[in-house]
Structure 1
Amino acid sequence: MVRNLLSWCLPVQGWSAKGLRLLAVVAKSLVLGFLFGILPNIQAGEISLPDLADSSASMFTPVEEQRLGRAFMRHIRQQLDVIEDPLLAYYLTALGQRLVSSAVQEQRRFYFFWINRSEINAFAGPDGNIGVYSGLMLASE
């Protein structure tokens, strides 16, 4: 079942069993996080997604936001352990793009990346930078 789910969003043929297990854990973590974030709102009534571009568009020009985003990522890489695994980055980007495509009306670039921390957390920075803690994977096991 997990193989079918994963093949729905990215090509998994030729991947090792270990890689597929890791992808399954990541998928479960992200789905559980999404469900725990959505289910309380479903009971409360209609869900309205925020417009992600409104607040930053009024505060910074696109050039200023790009400059802030680059500085933000330099600081993140200096202070935190960013996971540079291409397979994990590809998976997180594919899943993240699917999620934001239904929430964002304008064409916007997002950069998703993993942080090697045991906590269950995620954060967003300027210029579409979104960090996800690897603790999400561990919590789903």
Structure 2
Amino acid sequence: MTQTQVDPSAMDGYEQLQAMIDGRLPPPPISETIGLVNFGGERGEISVELVPELRHYNPLGTVHGGVLSTMLDTAAGCSVHSTLAVGEGYTSLDLTVKFLRPATVDSGLLRAVGRVVHRGRRTALAEAQVVDARGRLVAHATSSCMIFS
């Protein structure tokens, strides 16, 4: 089967994510837009990385909060996605972000790791953290998600 012939509706959430990692399904366009790389993980815990570039900067000369928020939302949301059964979907209800230190090109590889804190029948709570190449915490987020059929 080619990439476009894989049927994601027959897969659970983790299998869908794994198909994206393996190239059997296309990655979400936002990954290419901002340069997310090294997507991976296991059920309930997903990570994604980004090499900061000048194109990610805000007018103050640091990585824009929206870029960090996108990393956090991706990691937290995909950690919930990885727990979905066949036929289930989800949507983010909120994302609360705390920026703890600026990130720049000198920060090196940024890594966001999201994990499910609680998974219920209708809602899920996830958290995510972005750390820099030295392991310093850059930002933290919590996200509530609604689960639906």
Same fold (TM over 0.5): no
Higher strand share: 2
- TM-score, length basis structure 1: 0.29
Higher helix share: 1
- TM-score, length basis structure 2: 0.28
> Which structure has the bigger radius of gyration?
1
